[in-house]
Structure 1
Amino acid sequence: MTYPQEYIEFLVHFHGNRDYFECHEILEEYWKRTDLDHKQSIWVGFIQLAVAQYHYRRGNLKGAFKTLQKSLQIFLLDQAAVSRLGIDHAALTQQLKELLQKIEQHQSYESICLPILSYDLRKKCMQRSRELNMVWGSRSDVSDSALVHRHKERDRTQVIEERNLAIKKRQIKETNSEKKE
């Protein structure tokens, strides 16, 4: 089976340096290119899983719980896609249900490893981890503020520019609609 490189990179960061923000960024770009119109895409499920882990590690239990529920729903809807991606569907859904319970009980964050069944996928991920000097399966360094609070340190210039452009387009559209009336 051939896996998208972005998926491999997602798994490497998820299991290596535990940079869940980077996991989100990598897979979101892939999803936008390949399956944007599908909000229940398997890629969205993995993106939400990374976001849930990010929130959980930061102590945002409400955000973690809500996002993880959405992720689990997608995985439950598309068992075949999860399996095609080399993941043990039954073990994953059980793992996420247990994680939801931990969050609900306000238990401390702990890194998780996804139940990868595919030997080929695991081999590719571990090789890529070595290339990036990451240790596969290592625990998250919760004392690393730059990792834990990464969203606060990112450059939001492009996001702000896109938002302002969308506002201008909407204003022009509204002005044109008013002129027609």
Structure 2
Amino acid sequence: MYPQAYLDYLYHFHCDRDYFECHEVLEEYWKEKEAQERDIHWVGLIQIAVGLYHQRRGNLSGAKKMLQNAVHIVTSQSDCIQLLGLDSVALEKLLNERILDIEQGSPYRSFNLPIEDSNLLISCQSKAASSNKIWGAISDLTDAALINRHSLRDRTEVILERQRQLDARKKKKDSNG
């Protein structure tokens, strides 16, 4: 009933707290559609993961901005959020509380998304158990690879693609004039 990317997002969000991976799997799914056909509620979930990633790393202004954007989407897309098995009102409240924590300089702490669909929750917990993971485990703040994942990833493909696009633009410019 739910897209696999969303189930993967929930798994990473609640088991290993790999918010970077949450962002990656859901963004890849979101981008499968043409730009004008993309569902904005996915962006809200992506922004929640990015906001928590920033907060955990100490980038409080980035965290606050992402979570404020997420609140706006969760509020405006509450029907879609509900269809994903989440309690949109409870999620909005959680996010607003986290924004207040950030403003007050409170340290990062893990939280679980308010999953309302009991079948979804059972399915996710089963996947966690079969992977020897703990559903709802707290974030390992000593894991530098988890905390700094964005700076440790292999960016070769991104760099090569940017260079390819730059070369194509240069070639086009040279042929036009």
Give the structure-2-normalised TM-score: 0.94
- Identity value in percent: 45
**For the Cα contact (< 8 Å) 2:30–2:38, is it kept in 1?**
no
Shift of 1:119: 0.6
| Corresponding residue for residue 80 of structure 2 | 81
| Corresponding residue for residue 26 of structure 1 | 25
The one-letter code sitting in structure 1 at the alignment partner of 2:121 is R
User: In structure 2, how many angstroms separate the alpha carbons of the residues matched to 1:171 and 1:38?
Assistant: 31
SS of the equivalent of 2:32 reads helix
CA RMSD of aligned residues (A): 1.5
Measured against aligned partners, the alpha-carbon deviations of 1:16-61 in whole angstroms (never above 9, x if no partner) come to 1101111111111111113644576111111111011101001110
Shift of 1:134: 1.3
User: In structure 2, how many angstroms separate the alpha carbons of the residues matched to 1:109 and 1:165?
Assistant: 40
User: In structure 1, how many angstroms separate the alpha carbons of the residues matched to 2:143 and 2:37?
Assistant: 35
User: In structure 2, how many angstroms separate the alpha carbons of the residues matched to 1:24 and 1:151?
Assistant: 11
Shift of 1:162: 1.1
Shift of 1:127: 1.4
Structure 1 gap ranges (5+)? none
Assess, with a 3 A threshold, how the Cα gap between structure 1 residues 35 and 142 changes in structure 2: closer, same or farther.
farther
**For the Cα contact (< 8 Å) 2:90–2:114, is it kept in 1?**
yes
**For the Cα contact (< 8 Å) 1:8–1:124, is it kept in 2?**
no
**For the Cα contact (< 8 Å) 1:57–1:109, is it kept in 2?**
yes
The one-letter code sitting in structure 1 at the alignment partner of 2:134 is V
| Corresponding residue for residue 142 of structure 2 | 143
| Corresponding residue for residue 96 of structure 2 | 97
Structure 2 residue 160 is matched with structure 1 residue 165: no
Assess, with a 3 A threshold, how the Cα gap between structure 1 residues 43 and 128 changes in structure 2: closer, same or farther.
same
Shift of 1:160: 0.5
Moved over 4 A (4+): none
Assess, with a 3 A threshold, how the Cα gap between structure 1 residues 36 and 122 changes in structure 2: closer, same or farther.
farther
User: In structure 2, how many angstroms separate the alpha carbons of the residues matched to 1:26 and 1:164?
Assistant: 25
Structure 2 gap ranges (5+)? none
Assess, with a 3 A threshold, how the Cα gap between structure 1 residues 69 and 173 changes in structure 2: closer, same or farther.
farther
Measured against aligned partners, the alpha-carbon deviations of 1:84-136 in whole angstroms (never above 9, x if no partner) come to 00000110001101111111111100001111000111011111112222100
